[in-house]
Amino acid sequence: MKKEKNKLDSFFEQVYAVARLVPKGRVTSYGAIGKYLGTAKSARMVGWAMNGAHQVKPKVPAHRVVNRTGLLTGKHHFGTPTRMQELLEKEGIKVKNDQVQDFKKLYWDPMVELSI
DNA sequence: CGATTGACGTACG
DNA sequence: TCGTACGCCAATC
């Protein structure tokens, strides 16, 4: 019946999978996900993948994914520029000036947590 | 079909 | 230490 493409085989779905694994109240970076998938230098693709994360189900917590510096660079893609910060603060993450506070402590590294 | 862009990261000066 | 340049690869113009 539904002959949906094998998106599970797509690089994008792998990004979504890792993003969903991010525990609540923690954040990770595009490069960390890309590196975990073996495309460390293709961090841009991770961000591009998030571009379609909104139409993927279950929804991908893209708000838990920030750049390497902990800056909410993709906040403009959440409908409203403050939506991403609101979601993060709702999970207990403090954000100020689009910058995640204690990012170093909240940083969730798939390479370590998932123990490759 | 070619050039540009983009939610990043690393390298080099 | 800070600023600039380049690479990634797919989507868009």
Residue-wise pLDDT tens digits, A48-101: 999 999 988 899 999 999 999 999 999 999 999 999 999 999 999 999 999 999
Q: Which nucleotides of B are covered by protein (CB under 7 A)?
A: 6-10
Report the distance from CA of residue A39 to the C1' of nucleotide B12 in Å, as an integer.
Answer: 22
| CATH, range A2-113 | 1.10.10.10
pLDDT of amino acid A3: 43
Q: Which two tokens stand for residue A70?
A: 């902990």
pTM equals 0.89
**What residue has its CA nearest to the C1' of C10?**
A45
d(CA A76, CA A81): 5
Task: Render pLDDT for A30-49 as a digit per residue (tens, 0 to 9).
Answer: 999 999 998 888 899 999 99
d(CA A96, CA A85): 8
DSSP 3-state of A30: helix
d(CA A66, CA A28): 6
Assess whether A11 (CB) lies less than 7 A from strand C.
yes
For residues A29 and A67, is the Cβ–Cβ distance under 8 A?
A: yes
If pLDDT is split at 50, 70 and 90, which confidence band does A17 have? very high
pLDDT of amino acid A2: 44
Bridge partners for A83 per DSSP: none
Instruction: Name the nucleotide with the smallest C1'–CA separation from A48.
Output: B7
Alpha-helical (H) ranges within A51-114 are 83-90, 103-106, 110-113
Instruction: Name the nucleotide with the smallest C1'–CA separation from A76.
Output: B7
